[in-house]
Amino acid sequence: MKADGFKSVLDGLCYDGAYREMVVKNHKRGREDKIKMVGKMYKDTKTWNPFIGCEYDCAYCEPSFKRVLRWISERNKCQDCRDYRPHYHPERLRTSNIPSAKTVFVFGQGDISFCDPEYVRKVFDVIKKHKPQKKKAYYFQSKNPACLEQYIEEYPWNSILVTTLETNRDKGYEKVSRAPVPSVRFKDFYDLDYPSKVVTIEPVMDFDICELAAWIFMLRDQGSLEYVWFGYNSKPGEVQLPEPSEDKSQRFVDALKEAGVEVKGKDLRGVKLDESTLI
């Protein structure tokens, strides 16, 4: 969509108050590689966790990641897993431990910002030695995307960088998470000189349509955005978050799609997406 198309969509918002082929630049070799990226974030997706843990203490992680890890810790007898304390599992640093799924979330049970950079580079080395039977993508996600910049020239060529933007609102965010506030997170993510990015707006918190859409359009216009993942809190009975109405979310999602942004998701309540993007 041309710039004036983006402006018309944004003006309207302010007034209102599958697989795809992806070209990934190989920084090391100076070439472009084409890979088939998985079309659904959680279809044929697994995590690989040679590092585990996070100290952002997000309220919505308690009934999800932390609970799963407490269950796992009963089996592996790891107290650090149980406490969700940042720690390492070097015994998993083998190519045979990399899941066979088409999409692998590296450090999916933690945040890479708490991992020692030299250890991260060891993980890169293992990935680069891996010779999978099918094409795959590696996702590296952080709520502190500034930490991702130091590896820009080192990521395996089939890597995607991901951050979470549950809202655009900074005020009161400290009640939900100790992570950098959304405005800082967006700027740091936008500034990453990397060609393939995903934004996850899950669990969505109440937001300002115009402002949040503008952030997504900036990434789209940058040419780095692969898609947006959208969803509501999956544990509303256990964690209460300030949420947007389904009508507001639908208008937001529709605007993104009209602007040519691919939107996928789950836990959508009454929000409608294309059938091919549902999980």
Average pLDDT over residues 127-143: 91
Q: Distances from the Cα of 225 to the Cαs of 25, 88, 98, 131, 203, in angstroms? A: 14, 31, 26, 27, 19
Residue 86 per-residue DSSP state:
-
What's residue 73's pLDDT?
Answer: 72
Encode pLDDT of 161-190 as tens digits: 999 999 999 999 999 999 999 999 999 999
If pLDDT is split at 50, 70 and 90, which confidence band does 277 have? Answer: low
Q: For residue 44, with 0-12 CB atoms within 10 Å meaning exposed, 13-18 middle and 19 or more buried, which class applies? A: middle
The residue that leads in pLDDT, 49 or 135, is 49
For 112-121, 130-139, 258-267, which range has the lowest pLDDT when averaged over its residues?
130-139
If pLDDT is split at 50, 70 and 90, which confidence band does 112 have? Answer: very high
Question: Residue for token digits 């993104």?
Answer: 256
Q: Distances from the Cα of 240 to the Cαs of 54, 143, 149, 246, 271, in angstroms? A: 21, 20, 33, 16, 19
Enter the CATH code of domain 3-266: 3.20.20
3-state secondary structure of 118: helix
| Average pLDDT score, the chain | 85
Average pLDDT over residues 121-127: 97
What's residue 227's pLDDT?
Answer: 97
Q: Check pLDDT > 70 for residue 257.
A: yes
Dihedral over Cα of 240, 245, 246, 252: its sign: negative
If pLDDT is split at 50, 70 and 90, which confidence band does 11 have? Answer: very low
CA distance 50 to 276: 32
Residue ranges covered by each domain of the chain:
3-266
Average pLDDT over residues 57-85: 79
What's residue 70's pLDDT?
Answer: 73
3-state secondary structure of 55: coil
The residue that leads in pLDDT, 148 or 10, is 148
What's residue 17's pLDDT?
Answer: 36
If pLDDT is split at 50, 70 and 90, which confidence band does 255 have? Answer: very high
What's residue 71's pLDDT?
Answer: 73
